[in-house]
Amino acid sequence: MPIEVPRATVEHMLLGAPNDRRQLQDSPILGDVWIAFAKKPADAADLLITPHKSKLASEVASAINRRLKEERQRDAKPRPDPEVAFLQAVVAARLKFDQLLQVIVPMTGWWHEPRNRQEFNLYFDPARPEAISEKLRRALEYMLQIACGRSRGPGTDSFSTLDKYVGLAALILWAGEAQPRKGARKGTAEEEIQRALEKVKVDAVARPLLQLLNAMRQPDAPLVFQISLNRTATAAVARSVPAVKGDAAKLLFAVNCGDINWAVLDSGIDATHPAFQKEKPKPNEKPSRVKASYDFSQFRQIVSLSNEDDETRAHNAMKLSRYDPNQPLKPEEQKNLAKIDGDLAQIADDVDKGRRLNWPLIEQIVTLPDGTAPLSNHGTHVAGIIGANSAKLRQAGLDSDIGDGMCPDIGLYDFRVMGPTLEDTEFAIIAALQYIRYLNERHRFTVIHGANLSLSIRHDVRNYACGRTPVCLESEQLVDSGVVVVAAAGNRGYQSFETKEGPFESYASFSITDPGNADGVITVGSTHRNSPHTYGVSFFSSRGPTGDGRPKPDLVAPGERIRSTAPVAAGGPWTDLDGTSMAAPHVSGAAAMLMARYSELIGQPRRIKKILCESATDLGRERSFQGHGMLDVLRAFQRV
């Protein structure tokens, strides 16, 4: 088992001493990547790679895949499938730390900068590959002092930024190969690495790095801008519609949302639930208002460049077909499996030839059969707040205690981005957002008017500026294309920390999560379901402002003990859940109602956001807690 590098050591090398943190990193490897590899130095990490300037993502993905193949042919060590895949403006790859340094870093513009190349040449002598230069020795000695908790020496100011990166890279490479001594007692990461380094010489720590540096090859031109983690997303989890005056607005303005469609990016919707059935379906028409279900949770396997390999492609085709590999296939299943295999080969070939993503082929693979059960109740619950129809429940003989959703006649699109595991979720969400743009662009009219993201991706301020992460930028592009995007603020408003003096509990400012940090997104916090003036903002609801000082959340809506639909097969037809996940769909429903009543608002998401925010009811709480206040649908209608 390899040794963990303490996070404090990583932050000290990247940012400086705790009492003097003035250093901002300019490395293309962002802080969350360093920390992930420091925690598990021998494991592969799932990375998002941003192309350099005008380079196409397909071009970068193809170059990375080619270089990785070359490295695997020269290296006898077994490697996990990197599953290199791409979307517009981003590439995903699952790599080990040495692969990151040896393949990706030399592709960066940072690596090609003359000043970095000149300084880098001082670390080793090509004529003496095993020799350690004085510059590298000083950097490693200082880093080892930090890692061992000894004297801080001359301080970080005496070392260049590149010194620190090279020293930290050497430590992580060494830790990935090192093994704790037999019989050594277990302790904290700091204690274990201190014991491991007690008798280790600088030469031993430097050896893996020197071997890697001498094997590096520089491409002709920069292809990569920066590297971050493919972050995981989590669910941001009585009758609440009257609390936001949604029922009054429908009664006074006779709103019908039958021509409005909303995407729910979540864990999946139970399309067979009675609450989502149409009032009077036409002949040969689907009875459910869930117009389509798409599984983007396995999108990585569809666009992976590893599908060039026959065996890998066959494995992915079976996984995407959802057939039981332990059961004999029927003739029609064998035919379908062969088609998926052929489609995957075609998609991989498109990448090799520099073509764009073949969305029509991808659409056939991600589209789920009608009635496919969701993996959890979260997405069905969110969809119910937007569009449950209680009358259909009663017609089905179910005792309804949930009332109507905000828009009981709205059309729904089910985008499943949260799979059985949390891997690949940011990449899957970006793919789903791009597909929504594709759907709208291929028609002369808007197919999907809005998207609800009741999910939460924690933002690390050490990496991207707030609102500039890949998922935030993609959300902004969707808004710019004319689609309303509503996101949960997150459930990180109240946190508990373990200190030397014991536990410390406090409300947390700057705790808005992605994609809620995006400026054009309507970011929603939570309040009590029917007594918001009394109880104010929910204790768990994330607080603003954003890390770069913009006011967030935008407004709040009911998010405590919200009763809504749940998959019938999983014990429904309803359940109670809490969270900003439940608050966001109230705002999605309000935006849909505005567009249904005032069709000129379709395609104007920023104006809709302005109307909803300016008409919100002030709860008398801090702006960073409540935003503009609580959603008020009736007042929003009166402002148009």
Domain regions of the chain by residue span:
7-229, 237-288+374-639, 298-369
Q: Residue 332 has what pLDDT?
A: 92
- Nearest CA-CA partner of 233 in 61, 54, 421: 421
Q: Residue 80 has what pLDDT?
A: 81
Q: Residue 1 has what pLDDT?
A: 56
* Distance separating alpha carbons of residues 338 and 328, to the nearest angstrom: 15
Give 178: exposed, middle or buried? Use CB within 10 Å, 0-12, 13-18, 19+.
buried
**The residue to which tokens 């249904």 are assigned:** 596
Question: CB atoms < 10 A from the CB of 549, how many?
Answer: 9
211: tokens are 């071997």
Contact 253, 139 (CB under 8 A): no
Q: Residue 266 has what pLDDT?
A: 95
Q: Residue 394 has what pLDDT?
A: 82
Question: CB atoms < 10 A from the CB of 611, how many?
Answer: 21
* Distance separating alpha carbons of residues 67 and 460, to the nearest angstrom: 30
DSSP-assigned letters across all residues of 324-389: -TTSPPPHHHHHHHHHHHHHHHHHHHHHHTTPPP-HHHHHHHHBPPTTPPPSSSHHHHHHHHHH--
DSSP-assigned letters across all residues of 375-397: SSSHHHHHHHHHH--HHHHHHTT
CATH superfamily of 237-288+374-639: Peptidase S8/S53 domain (3.40.50.200)
Q: Residue 241 has what pLDDT?
A: 79
The alpha carbon of residue 436 and the mean position of all alpha carbons in its chain are separated, in whole angstroms, by 17
The alpha carbon of residue 263 and the mean position of all alpha carbons in its chain are separated, in whole angstroms, by 17
| Strand 502-507, strand 494-499: pairing | antiparallel
The alpha carbon of residue 51 and the mean position of all alpha carbons in its chain are separated, in whole angstroms, by 18
Q: How many residues does the chain have?
A: 640
Enumerate residue ranges in the chain where pLDDT < 70: 1, 15-25, 76, 124-131, 149-158, 179-190, 193-194, 196-200, 214-215, 217-219, 234-239, 399-402, 419-424, 461-462, 496-505
DSSP, collapsed to helix, strand or coil, labels residue 563 as strand
Written in H, E and C, the secondary structure of 54-91 is CCCHHHHHHHHHHHHHHHHHHCCCCCCCCCCEEECCEE
| pLDDT tens profile 306-330 | 999 999 999 999 999 988 888 888 9
DSSP, collapsed to helix, strand or coil, labels residue 210 as helix
- Nearest CA-CA partner of 205 in 235, 172, 161: 172
| pLDDT tens profile 56-86 | 999 999 999 988 888 877 776 778 889 999 9
Q: Residue 219 has what pLDDT?
A: 64
DSSP, collapsed to helix, strand or coil, labels residue 588 as helix
